[in-house]
Structure 1
Amino acid sequence: MSDTFFDRMKEQTGIELNESQQQAVLHTEGPLLLLASPGSGKTTTLNMKIAYLLFEKRVSPDRIMAVTFSKASARDMSRRFDDYFSGWSDERVSFSTIHSFAYKVVREFMSREKIPYQLIEGGGNKGRLANGLPLHKTFILKKVYEDVNGAQPTEEEMDDLMSFISLVKNRMLEGKELEKVSCQAKNAPEVFKAYESFKQTEAEVTLLDFDDMLTFGHEILRENEEMLKKYQERFDYVLTDESQDNSVVQHEIVEMLAAPDNNICLVADDDQSIFGWRGAEVDKLLQFEKTYPDATVLTMTENYRSSQEIVHVANRFIKRNVDRYEKEMTTPNESQEAVDIHTFQNDEKQLDYVVGQIREKRGEEEVAVLYRNHSSVIPLVDQLDRAGIDFYMKDSEAKFFKHWIVEDILNFLRFSYNDSRIDILEKIHTKFNAYISKKQMTLLKNRQTDGSLFDQLLNLDIQEYQKKAIPKAKQTFRDINGMAPDQAIITIREKLGYDRVLRKMVDNFGFRADQLFGTLDVLIRIAGSCDSLKDFAFRLRELEELVKSAHSRESSLTLTTFHSAKGLEFDSVYMIDLVDGIIPSNDDIEDYRDGERETMEEAARLFYVGMTRARSRLELLTYHYLGNERVKESTFVHNVRAITGTKKTNHKEKENKVDTSSFEGMDPGTPIIHKTFGRGTLMEYSGDLIVIHFEDVGYKELLLETCVERGLLSKEKQEA
């Protein structure tokens, strides 16, 4: 019977399943966990399994519940099902998300119990409270934050709060468990509790956000036996795709629906569980056989996507993780190119290489550049645009340009152009070393006097230390106005003390140092190709519009994060910024050192997802310096080196090496002039590093080649 079915499928759809895929299709009764490696045809197998239920077992379509993680995945599954079977059958199965099912449960319950409610996320007019506050999640959360903390949240704090709320709901955390969840927003657990209370008490109706659909739906099914039984009797078979992305609450909804017969099939890959930060729970997969003692676990490990070299490296690499199902990924594909590892002097050389490689390909193959952080791609976008290379961004994220650090830097530059603008000084007076107090700002605003605000400050009753600091700051701002944009930003950071202010914020408020200083490094990278401060400000606006529109363009080149690349495949893949601190992140490394391996293992899975996007060519790119900061090659790249036997060698640049011979043989104590940092004394010169003690900014460890290339460094002329 089954042979006839598979023969018929091959004849009518052209699809021929291998032995493990057929085994998965035929297993219909009882709990099944189907572990599908990258490129193993899981969506095809799942559709064939549904077809088997429909056409061979004669199960009615409305008795099958087929769910997946996202609307996009549901649409893709439905489209593929239609492609396979629409020509010879009218049978259809409804593919949906767990979210949409849970919302159906909530709507039915609220209607039956006559409980009025209103969604506060999504489009449409949400109405307002009596005090005028819009009934929208963002406005409500901001109001609650202000009530709890007595201050407005930053955009980063709002993003973190949104993630925090979604995480604790999806993992169904409460009480003291809330305090264990990391969140940069101040008093996040208290804000969360106040937010939940607000939704229940401050409006005439119950207010629901998207995550409430899940938690309310779960609670209704758990506490209302009649409704649960209704849905259990409605579905004979429950199948879920991308189950490694499901959260605790989503898993439990599916488990309740499948009971008591437990004809449940989870299609998943524990090695591709990469959304822990939004509630995904890989432990639910690892404990499947404990949840269902009579469970069957099958594997589909034949990768039809990638070359032998890529499959070999990825298969060996992911075995570094401890918490996973043991499996061996193989491929019938031919041998092609070895996995390449390139080590560059700095991040700039890395991007030069990537752009050069893409230019050579001339759109003749599908190429992807993968990165972990959104900020990483901005300099690449700048360089691709200047090279006239079109690209598509799967997740075009323009928040970088609204970051408060970007706004700070622009305000510093605006003030350097006109130091009489009180509106600008009010925004930055606490962020540079003139030590201007709030009281002094109030006095300045009340004076209504024209001219330099620095001069006006000197006429006030100021502290003794300000009498030296204020004229110095005034001169520095005047100097900045005549500088090249990248040197202006370096001067703001070093001579005006902006870096010192950021470090205090890191210590006092828990901001992530790598994100703050990474944003500044990106700005310097963009500024390096601009001729004036005005050009720099204009270029930022250009890039913002470019990023905003990038998701609507078509191109053979895709730029995307590792997370958003899941489910995609390309001929060539370049994984960039592979250094410790980015992937794995500093938090991943610290947790691992403290004996907590969960976040490090998820970072390894993210790296694995990136590698397995490539069909024939995979290049891993790392470097020694990010800006002026010395960084270490990613521990994951080190793992790959051990697998491939690749030695650590610097990438040979095609262009001529910068001539630094005039600085060779210098003795410690040699006077040095730097265009940004001023006068200094050479302390150490070794290899590519030069260490200088500057009179104004102290010790600096600099890349000699970069300094010479940009004309920043010279020996101080000595009088005869």
Structure 2
Amino acid sequence: MLGRISSAKNELVSPAEFARLNRSYADEIAARCYERYQQRLRESNALDFDDLLVKMVQVFELFPDVLAQYHQRYTHLLVDEYQDTNRVQYTLVKLLAGERRNLFAVGDNDQSIYGWRGADVRNILQFEQDYPDAQVILLEQNYRSTQSILDTAQALISGGDKQKHIKKLWTENGAGTQVSLHEGYDQDEEANLVGDEIARLVAAGDFSYGDCAVMYRINAQSRALEEALMARGVRYQIVGGTRFYERKEIKDVLAYLRLAYNPYDSVSLGRVLNWPGRGIGERSEGELLRWAAELGVPVYQALRELADSAASTENAGDKRSGATPPFAPRTRNALLAFLATLDQLGAMHGTLPLAELIDALLARLEVREALIKEYDAEEAEERWGNVQELRNVAGDYIGLPIEAQLPTFLEEVALVADVDKVDGKADAVTCITLHQAKGLEYPVVFLVGLEEGLLPHSRSSDDREKVEEERRLLYVGMTRARQRLYLCYAFRRASFGRVNVTSRTRFLADIPRELLKQPLKRGVASPSPQASMFTSRSGYGGATPRRQPGQPERQPPPSPTAVTFFAGQRVRHATFGEGLVVSSRLVEGDEEVIVSFADKERRLLASFARLERDT
């Protein structure tokens, strides 16, 4: 709600105007909250952060004599990052510039990436309309990157909406190494490609771990990367965020899973006793702990005693001192509901596969709804994405017996989380979102997840302006690299409990093939030297490999009518090495094979995995 109020203020929309513009019941509620919020601020003789600018604009507009005093005081203005200004900032600058118009604005419309928090790229694009006598100075020399990186970034940004003052970036740093494009079979192989290349660069003595950065669109993508880096003993740091297994929502879900396996885990029980919120405050928790101590039993056993006392008045008169439950009816009911949840989860363990157990847990606890209540919409969705990524990990255990899936999962997560705690001062790879990376630079940059639905994000794919902002976000990521740049994507990716075949980001269609090194792992007919590596589908659709004119069109392999791999069969994969087939089945016109490799079990599609049978 505060986010909506802040957005309204940044657009100079008053509570009354906001109420007139409301179109739904939710808007009406927001309008009431906005009015009450402003009333409370007035009663407290206070301003919030947004008001500092809003009130200044209002004073300048209502009292020209006050504005005139500031015109005399500030005769010249310098504004940095002008492309990131919102409406209230834009209006304030225009008022202060006044008739003198001694305004020096520095900005780059190609790096406007904060539209989601109110920035309006039109402010810089229309600068010359606002100030017709302005002189435009293009800063085209780049002191950071090599020419290969700049040419690739330039091709990307030039493929977007045409704007005036197209820059031609150049540098004296030399051509440098070509930009590399890599495809992984899934997010785990993509992460392994990154981990292997970082290890190779460091082993060769060319770079240190601290020289390398891995950038992604959303925080949930860090999970596979973190595990790949840890598996290679590579130190890393999460900048501007929290390591995956240390994120609150992940710890909370894991606590419930530990309780499903071992309800006597008092640490996990204490963590989630009131999550999601069920009206058990610190006082009630303290009463529960004291009562358990008086009974001389673990907390879970105390909950069982409470259930017994509720079921039978005779049991309430236990001979042990302090056996009478000290809880008010509302607290007692909340504790019993919590116990019922633990009992249900415990009953599911050993009967449901791990992935289904997690689904049932999330549904019973209404985790998504709880996150929406606790956080603003964007943060709630990001945290829900983290939870779904944890659920995706459960798919790796499908080949184990059902009763072994949860304990094995918890054991491996505990090992990963323990290794996760490294010295923050050590030489370490930086893992960071693209938004957080703006203004930073690294000798080596890996951009991962360059797929439709991630970049551009699914929330932006149907809005032209938002798609162009996603393009600029990728451009910002590319131009963080000084010497080496790697572009990575996965052929398929697990998301929200499902594994989907992905499409490469449409933005790759604008990068000529000759600018990229080793563009594809799988064999596809090469395009002409002047052609783009990919040709776009119509509109804002995905991208498909371009076929060389005159070459026969590649036909898809025929759909199998029966499985060709069998449990116990030995196979070899080009990346994962030797493995043993656990199971195989037909799925949507392809054969899905589960293979146990040395590191873990993996699901593979036979048509793409190119498994070799061991004869």
What CA deviation, in whole Å up to 9, does each residue of 1:100-124 have, x standing for no partner?
A: xxxxxxxxxxxxxxxxxxxxxxxxx
Q: Report the Cα distance in structure 1 between the residues aligned to 2:431 and 2:82, rounded to whole angstroms.
A: 26
Corresponding residue to 1:602 among 465, 469, 481: 469
How many angstroms does 1:357 deviate by?
A: 1.7
**What's the offset of the Cα at 1:604?**
0.4
The structural deviation recorded for 1:623 is 0.5
What does residue 161 of structure 2 align with? 322
Q: Report Cα offsets for 1:277-300 as digits up to 9, x if no partner.
A: 111111111111221222222211
Q: Look up the match of 1:418.
A: 263
The amino acid across from 2:485 in the alignment is L
Change (3 A) 1:561 1:648: same
Question: Which residue is 1:492 aligned to?
Answer: 357
Question: 2:135 aligns to what?
Answer: 296
2:182 corresponding residue in structure 1: 342
Relative to structure 1, the CA distance from residue 705 to residue 640 in structure 2 (aligned partners, 3 Å threshold; closer, same or farther) is: farther
Could you say which residue in structure 1 is the equivalent of 2:489?
622
Residues 384-438 of structure 1: per-residue CA shift (max 9 Å, x gap): 34533233443134698455465235314413323999997996899xxxxxxxx
- Report the alpha carbon displacement of residue 682 of structure 1 after superposing the two structures with TM: 3.8
Q: 1:437-586, aligned counterparts within 5 Å? A: 446-447=310-311, 475-479=347-351, 488=354, 490-493=355-358, 496=360, 498=362, 516=384, 519-522=387-390, 524-525=392-393, 532=408, 534-535=410-411, 538=414, 542=418, 550=424, 553=425, 555=427, 557-586=429-458
Residues 686 and 515 (structure 1 numbering): CA distance in 2 closer, same or farther, change over 3 Å?
A: farther
Which one of the candidate residues 667, 674, 688 is aligned to 2:562? 667
SS in structure 2 of the partner of residue 257 of structure 1: helix
1:171-250 aligned at under 5 Å gives the runs 171-173=11-13, 187=26, 190-191=29-30, 193-201=32-40, 204-250=43-89
- Counterparts in 2 of 1:613 and 1:651: CA distance versus 1, 3 Å: farther
Amino acid aligned to 2:55? F
Question: Which of 372, 377, 397 is 2:222 aligned to?
Answer: 377
Matching residue of 2:612 = none
1:227-252 CA distances to partner (integer Å, 9 max, x unpaired)?
Answer: 21111101121011111112111121
Query: Contact conserved, 1:301 with 1:328, CA < 8 A, in 2?
Result: yes
What's the CA shift for 1:330? 2.6
Alignment correspondent of 2:321: none
How far is the alpha carbon of 1:446 from its aligned partner? 3.5
Pair 1:327–1:352, CA change in 2 (3 A) = same
8 Å CA contact 2:187, 2:490 repeated in 1: yes
What do the CA deviations read for 1:22-66 (whole angstroms, capped 9, x no partner)? xxxxxxxxxxxxxxxxxxxxxxxxxxxxxxxxxxxxxxxxxxxxx
Asked if residue 311 in structure 1 is aligned to residue 176 in structure 2, the reply is no
Equivalent position to 2:521, from 639, 650, 670: 650
**Distance of aligned partners of 1:681 and 1:322 in 2 relative to their CA distance in 1, 3 Å threshold:** closer
Distance 1:471 1:571, change over 3 A: closer
Residue 354 of structure 1 corresponds to: 194
Deviation at 1:619, TM superposition (A): 0.6
Deviations 1:255-294 (A, max 9, x none): 2112120010111000100111111111111111221222
Unpaired segments of 5 or more residues in structure 2? 279-305, 317-341, 398-405, 524-558, 569-581, 605-615
Q: What is the CA-CA distance between 1:564 and the residue it aligns to?
A: 1.8
Give the drift of 1:545: 5.9
Aligned positions of 1:4-19 closer than 5 A: none
Unpaired stretches in structure 1, ≥5 consecutive residues: 1-160, 431-441, 451-469, 481-486, 592-596, 653-663, 674-678, 691-702, 715-720
SS at match of 1:350: helix
Question: Quick check: 1:579–1:622 contact (8 Å CA) kept in 2?
Answer: yes
- Residues 357, 711 of structure 1: CA spacing in aligned structure 2 closer, same or farther, 3 A cutoff? closer
The more displaced of 302-311 and 598-607 is 302-311
| Counterpart contact for 1:171–1:248, Cα < 8 Å | yes
SS at match of 2:491: strand
- Equivalent AA in structure 1 for residue 75 of structure 2: D
Pairing partner for 1:637 from 508, 517, 523: 508
TM-score in terms of structure 1 length: 0.56
What is the rounded CA distance, in whole Å, between the counterparts of 1:281 and 1:239 in structure 2? 19
SS in 2 for 1:300: coil
Cα 1:368–1:561 change in 2 (3 A) is same
* Amino acid aligned to 1:245: D
Task: Quote the Cα distance in structure 1 between the aligned partners of 2:52 and 2:459.
Answer: 31
Corresponding residue for 1:251? 90
Q: Is the 8 A contact 2:184 2:490 kept in 1?
A: yes
> Does the Cα contact within 8 Å between 2:215 and 2:445 map onto a contact in 1?
yes
Letter aligned with residue 506 of structure 2 = T
Does the 8 A contact of 2:82 with 2:106 survive in 1?
yes
Counterpart check, 1:613 vs 2:480: yes
Match of 1:589, SS state, is: coil
Equivalent pair of 1:313/1:643 in contact (CA under 8 Å)? no
CA distance in 1, matches of 2:233, 2:393: 18
For 2:449 and 2:603, the matched residues in 1 are separated by: 28
Q: CA deviation at 1:516?
A: 3.2
Code of the residue aligned with 1:387 in structure 2: it is R
Residue 574 of structure 1 deviates from its aligned partner by 0.4
Deviation at 1:180, TM superposition (A): 9.0
CA distance in structure 2 between the partners assigned to 1:274 and 1:374 by the alignment: 17
CA contact (8 A) 2:142 2:171 kept: yes
How far off is 1:710 after superposition? 4.2
What TM-score, normalized to structure 2? 0.65
- Is the 1:379–1:526 contact (alpha carbons within 8 Å) kept by the matching residues of 2? no
Amino acid at match of 1:621: C
Mapped to 2, the partners of 1:708 and 1:525 lie a distance apart of: 17
Tell me, yes or no, if structure 1 residue 167 matches structure 2 residue 7.
Answer: yes
SS of structure 1 residue aligned to 2:69: helix
Q: Which residue does 2:297 correspond to in 1?
A: none
8 Å CA contact 1:578, 1:620 repeated in 2: yes
The alignment yields a C-alpha RMSD, in angstroms, of 4.7
One-letter amino acid of the structure 1 residue matched with residue 384 of structure 2: L
SS at match of 2:511: helix
Amino acid in the other structure paired with 2:64: E
Q: Is structure 2 residue 152 aligned with structure 1 residue 276?
A: no
CA contact (8 A) 2:513 2:519 kept: no
Deviation at 1:557, TM superposition (A): 3.0
